Amino acid sequence: MDIIIGLVAHDAGGAELLANYAKQNPQNYRFVLDGPAVTVFRRTLGDIKLEKLEEVLPTCKHLICGTSWQSNLEYDAIRFANDFGIKSISFLDHWIHYDERFTRDGVKLLPDEMWVGDEWGYKIAKSNFPLIPIRLVPNPYFMFIKESLKHGHSSSKKKLNTVLFVSENISEFSKTRYNDPNYFGYNEFDSINYFLSKIDRIEKNIDCIKIRPHPSDSDGKYHEYLKYDSRIKISKGSTLLEDLEECQIVVGAQSMAMVVGLMLNKKVISSIPPEGKPCQLPHSEILNLRNLI
């Protein structure tokens, strides 16, 4: 009888890891998905069947989960896996806020094992969770990006000089976790406003400023910026890779999309305003707007 593995995800970042892991490692999977993860998995794997956690758990050898902040889905999956005596694995998709991913209402609930996609994540996870087995697994989403770049489909036409701003739903995260939308001293609007106010420090001759909403952002969240500058456009319907291929410079706070930008050899800048803590991404190639003269 085939071993069954449950995949559990809500947020887009973890979903990109798990969906590409499943594609690159064919096995007998059952899918417990919600939120942005549904779109990510179906874009990657096709029209998969979605099931409820209580249906999947009794049949699984183990669960592999994302680490969402928008949802309790993965947190509940770990809790119920413990009840069923099923091994739980969390695949970390970022380099910051590790503790918050496993804490709800002050209660920390850790999986049996954690996976990370690079040496930076491994060191951070080992420091944060010294008693949990940490496994270094090559990042399947980054493997997909690298493979896609081998078969690049960039247009041969002359491109506009474009800056891509990759948003993060910082205010919602802060409100959900700390009951304060400005817990970190800034939010996504502060980050984009700071970027726009200092845009000449980045590049003198910009033809297009494209704002890419986060998958958790509400529709129309950034439409007011269309009135701010005629060069501003809102990304809609494009994949992250398509948006990145079209730009020369990537700006954001501390999004994983910025790291993907580095993979495409883009100039990457963090626009966290001075009142916020500097970018915590461990990638030294990322510039800080506050330091640009």
Phi, psi of 123 (to 5 degrees): -65, -40
> Residue 155 has what pLDDT?
45
Per-residue tokens: 83: 């009840």
Rg of the chain, C-alpha, whole Å: 19
> Residue 157 has what pLDDT?
46
Write out the chain's pLDDT in tens, 293 residues: 479 999 999 999 999 999 999 999 999 999 999 999 999 999 999 999 999 999 999 999 999 999 998 899 999 999 999 999 999 999 999 999 899 899 998 899 999 999 999 999 999 999 999 999 999 999 999 999 999 988 765 544 456 799 999 999 998 888 888 888 888 899 999 999 999 999 988 988 899 999 999 998 999 999 999 999 999 999 998 999 999 999 999 999 999 999 999 999 999 999 999 999 889 999 999 999 999 86
Domain boundaries, the chain: 4-146, 152-291
| Integer CA distances (angstroms), 233 to 68, 153, 239, 258, 274, in order | 29, 22, 15, 19, 26
Note the CATH architecture for domain 4-146.
3-Layer(aba) Sandwich (3.40)
Report the candidate in 22, 15, 6 with the shortest Cα–Cα distance to residue 86. Answer: 6
4-146 and 152-291, same CATH topology: yes
Phi, psi of 253 (to 5 degrees): -90, -75
Distance of alpha carbon 168 from alpha carbon 213, whole angstroms: 7
> Residue 152 has what pLDDT?
67
> Residue 153 has what pLDDT?
53
Q: Cα angle vertex 236, ends 233, 238, to 5°?
A: 110
> Residue 177 has what pLDDT?
80
For the chain, give percent helix, strand, coil, nearest 5: 40, 20, 40
Model's pTM, two decimal places?
Answer: 0.92
Indicate the fold that domain 152-291 takes in CATH: Rossmann fold (3.40.50)
User: 3-class DSSP state for residue 148?
Assistant: helix
Distance of alpha carbon 150 from alpha carbon 156, whole angstroms: 16
